[in-house]
Structure 1
Amino acid sequence: MRVRATRDALSLRLDGNESPQELRRVIEELPALPLEVEVNGLVGGEALEALLEAARARGLAVTLRPPRGERYVPYTEVVGRTLRSGQRVESPGTVVVLGDVNPGAEVVAGGDVIVVGKLRGLAHAGASGNLDATVWALALEAQQLRIAHLVARAPEEGFKSQGPERARVDGERIVLEPWGRR
């Protein structure tokens, strides 16, 4: 593991030999700056989860970077059921829900959130600070949407979706736009 300071953040380079305990300790000792994590070796899921958990506990933004010269293909988690109130799905990559996300349910993703159904719960895409993340749903009726650090609330009670929509960042606000229809 190697840590170095950049202009806006701390760069943490993992080689695959780090234990979850070692990563937790290092994160606790680092200054409170955003982290850019470059994964160079075969880093286990447990170690990455420990790193993200420790960073989240300190309120640090984390961006995962592919090794230099390689293209990063983010992990996609597929949830094959409807999410009910009180249920929460969280992933460092993209989350695809094959069903509805009911009020009181939450989907938090480092990448995109895609709902093949009605989105009426909370969706947080780009939770690691990714402003390019998007939220897609066949019926986008969420009371609150988040993309990176931005938050949008439903305009009024009784708002109904007019069909498939996508939420994305435009400047410093979240905008909704139709997709898949003319």
Structure 2
Amino acid sequence: MTLAIPPSRSSKVTPVSKDLIVRKTLRSGQKISHEGSVIIVGDVHESAEVIAEKDVFVLGRLEGTVHAGCMGDLTSIVVAFRLNPRQVRIGDKISRPPSDSLPNDLPEMAYVE
């Protein structure tokens, strides 16, 4: 049995979440830009780019460019199962991994202290 409740004049639709879940690997040249957090179930290849107003989570390898907190939010984070990005940006801060660094096989998180 389904009950329908008629909408009242004062009812408003409020989005529960602005998160975007992407269930695919981002190939070189592909770009995702989103107003909330981005969760990628797959890899981000070297020339791919992810831009989010909040956090970025990659359930795979992150080898491309990522910009979390693109509107200036320095509390945003970047998390990946294998973090080996070309460039990481959080808010207005930019970082690149050292050229002589070895990839870590453990999940890692990038954040601004």
TM-score with structure 2 length normalisation?
Answer: 0.83
Q: Match for residue 16 of structure 1?
A: none
Map 1:12-161; keep pairs closer than 5 Å.
Answer: 74-157=17-100, 159-161=102-104
Q: 1:161 deviation in Å? A: 1.9
The one-letter code sitting in structure 2 at the alignment partner of 1:146 is: R
Q: Runs of 4+ in structure 1 displaced over 3 angstroms?
A: none
Cα drift, residue 143 of structure 1: 1.6
Q: CA RMSD in A?
A: 1.9
**What letter matches 1:131 in structure 2?**
L
Could you tell me which runs of 5 or more consecutive residues in structure 2 were left unpaired when the two chains were aligned: 1-11
How far is 1:118 from its partner?
Answer: 0.2
Note the C-alpha offset of 1:169.
0.3
Q: TM-score, normalised by structure 1?
A: 0.53
Contact 1:86 1:104 in 2 (8 A): yes
Percent identical pairs in the alignment equals 39
- For structure 1, the 5+ residue unaligned runs are 1-40, 44-71, 171-182
Are residues 80 and 159 of structure 1, via their aligned partners in 2, closer, same or farther at CA, if it must alter by over 3 Å? same
Q: 1:73 to 1:161 in 2, by over 3 A?
A: farther
In structure 1, how many angstroms separate the alpha carbons of the residues matched to 2:36 and 2:108? 21
Measured after TM superposition, the shift of residue 162 of structure 1 is 3.4
Q: How many residues align?
A: 102
